[in-house]
């Protein structure tokens, strides 16, 4: 790693003026959207420098979103695994995941920019529900694009979004999952950019999204760092989070990136964009991307709809490239085991996404004996219960 430049002393600092984290990032969108991205960047910079905006953001997350989320010491799993396992409880936020942080930030910003309509993509439905919630709160129109495959496996969240007053469109194109929902949301935005804000749900897409979304999630990393210090007197040895696009990981990593903690982002084996390490350009960014031998984007396959994404946020590609964070992957079988383990050992049903993080901790625990491990529990598993009834019933684990 080279000397930090004066303008960005933090490992997870501001990207360059052309939106790069190292060689990753950028603004690879149709010309129609370039001006909108520039306008958004200017509006975000201006708002984030305005104490009144930041205060409104923080107050809304406190009084409406339920922040700060607690840090739970998992005593039973700790003794089983031989590590000291601390869990950041983003599952206890309003709408059940970390997604609310980003959505409140973007919705307040969109309103400040005079936009009256939000569009969003969603995989598991968590970001869609969060966006629908913010739209209801702020009186904005909202349309959520969701792959048809995900609509089927996340019926409860589809109903939630509709109950909250949003329109949900089932996307039939391509692999009919998250990547195609992003395409459809981009197509909508290309046509409606004058009155619509694209409320992107992860640290991906064109500049300024990866940086802006991470900044809105920074609050969870800061909280976790302070809570760890209170509890243990310092940083944990290891910080672990699941990675699809990578927003919850970016949020928690940002609280520790300048320290010594080992940072681990866990990808699904069927969506290991960083693990495969091939750069590509899609959805507005240069990053690692799962693609075939000629450059067609591949379909990710994961038990968890929220991680079913062939790319990854460009800052994660950068953190991997400079060696600051590592990105192992776990299999669906390991995830199912971890999902059950956490439910039974701690009385916490994790989202399948976060079960990836725990699955890696279980696997790596023998090499981490005695260490303090902080895991971001980015969402609750209620949305997955229906799907897991089938999976676990089939395996005879829960009948």
Partner 1 sequence: MSAAEASTRRDSFGALETHLRARRDSGAKLLVPYVTGGYQGWQRAVEAAAAAGADAIEIGVPFSDPVMDGPVIQQASTAALVDGATPASVLEEARELDTGVPHAVMTYYNLCHHQGHERFASALLDAGVCAAILPDLPYVEAGPWLEAAAETGLEAILLAAPTTPEHRLADLCGASRGFVYAVGLLGVTGERTALARTATQIAARCLAVTDRPVLTGVGIGSPSQAIEACEVSDGVIIGSAVVRTLMSDGPEAVGELVASYRTALDHG
37 in catalytic set: no
Stretch that binds partner 1, among 21-29, 69-77, 88-96, 386-394 (CB under 8 A): 21-29
Give 356: exposed, middle or buried? Use CB within 10 Å, 0-12, 13-18, 19+: buried
Taking CB under 8 A as the rule, does residue 117 contact partner 1?
Answer: no
98 in catalytic set: yes
Whether the CB-CB separation of 121 and 284 falls below 8 Å is answered with no
Shortest distance in whole angstroms from residue 31 CB to partner 1: 4
Q: Which of 67, 98, 179, 197 binds partner 1 (CB under 8 A)?
A: 179
Tokens found for residue 283: 């959805």
Taking CB under 8 A as the rule, does residue 193 contact partner 1?
Answer: yes
CB-wise, 59 or 195, nearer to partner 1?
Answer: 195
The 10 Å CB-count burial string (b at 16+, else e) for 239-250 is bbbbbbbbbbbb
Taking CB under 8 A as the rule, does residue 28 contact partner 1?
Answer: yes
Shortest distance in whole angstroms from residue 77 CB to partner 1: 40
Give 55: exposed, middle or buried? Use CB within 10 Å, 0-12, 13-18, 19+: exposed
Q: Which of 29, 81, 149, 375 binds partner 1 (CB under 8 A)?
A: 29
Shortest distance in whole angstroms from residue 314 CB to partner 1: 13
- The residue written with tokens 């306008």 in the block is 39
Q: Give me the phi and psi of 198, to 5 degrees please.
A: -85, 110
For 197-239, the DSSP string reads EE---SS-SSTTHHHHHHHHHHHHHHHHHHHHHHHHSS--SEE
Taking CB under 8 A as the rule, does residue 197 contact partner 1?
Answer: no
**CA neighbor of 135 nearest in space, from 97, 100, 90, 169:** 100
Convert residues 286-315 into a mask of x (bound to partner 1 by CB under 8 A) and - (unbound).
x--x-x--xxxxx-----------------
Whether the CB-CB separation of 192 and 115 falls below 8 Å is answered with no
Taking CB under 8 A as the rule, does residue 276 contact partner 1?
Answer: no
Query: What residues are labeled active site?
Result: 74, 98
Residues interacting with partner 1, by CB under 8 A? 18, 26-36, 173-174, 179-180, 183, 186-187, 190-194, 279-283, 286, 289, 291, 294-298
């Amino acid at each position: 790693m080279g000397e930090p430049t004066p303008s960005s002393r933090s490992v997870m600092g501001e990207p360059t003026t052309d939106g790069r984290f190292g060689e990753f990032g950028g603004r690879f969108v149709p010309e129609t959207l370039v001006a909108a991205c520039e306008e958004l960047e200017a509006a975000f910079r201006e708002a984030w420098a305005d104490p009144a905006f930041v205060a409104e953001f923080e107050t809304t997350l406190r009084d409406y979103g339920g922040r700060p989320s607690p840090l739970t010491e998992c005593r039973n799993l700790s003794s089983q695994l031989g590590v000291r396992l601390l869990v950041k409880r983003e599952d206890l936020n309003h709408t059940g995941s970390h997604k609310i942080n980003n959505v409140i930030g973007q919705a307040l910003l969109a309103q400040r920019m005079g936009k009256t309509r939000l569009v969003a993509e969603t995989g598991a439905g968590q970001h869609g529900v969060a966006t629908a919630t913010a739209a209801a709160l702020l009186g904005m129109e909202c349309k959520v694009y969701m792959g048809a495959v995900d609509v089927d496996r996340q019926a409860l969240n589809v109903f939630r979004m509709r109950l909250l007053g949003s329109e949900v469109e089932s996307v039939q194109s391509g692999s009919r999952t998250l990547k195609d929902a992003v395409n459809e949301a981009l197509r909508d935005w290309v046509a409606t950019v004058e009155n619509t804000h694209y409320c992107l749900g992860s640290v991906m897409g064109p500049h300024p999204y990866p940086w802006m979304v991470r900044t809105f999630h920074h609050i969870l990393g800061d909280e976790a760092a302070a809570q760890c210090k209170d509890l243990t007197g310092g940083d944990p040895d290891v910080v672990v989070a699941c990675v699809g696009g990578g927003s919850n990981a970016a949020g928690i990593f940002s609280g520790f990136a300048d320290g010594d903690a080992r940072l681990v982002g866990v990808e699904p084996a069927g969506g290991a964009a960083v693990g495969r390490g091939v750069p590509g350009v899609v959805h507005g960014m240069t990053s690692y991307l799962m693609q075939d031998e000629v450059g067609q984007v591949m379909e990710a396959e994961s038990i968890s709809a929220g991680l079913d994404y062939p790319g990854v946020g460009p800052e994660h590609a950068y953190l991997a490239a400079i060696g600051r964070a590592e990105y192992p992957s776990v299999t669906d079988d390991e995830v199912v085991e971890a999902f059950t383990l956490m439910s039974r050992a701690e009385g916490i049903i994790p989202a399948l996404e976060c079960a990836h993080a725990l699955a890696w901790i279980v696997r790596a625990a023998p090499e981490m004996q005695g260490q303090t491990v902080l895991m971001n529990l980015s969402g609750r598993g209620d949305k997955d219960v229906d799907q897991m009834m089938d999976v676990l019933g089939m395996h005879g684990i829960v009948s």
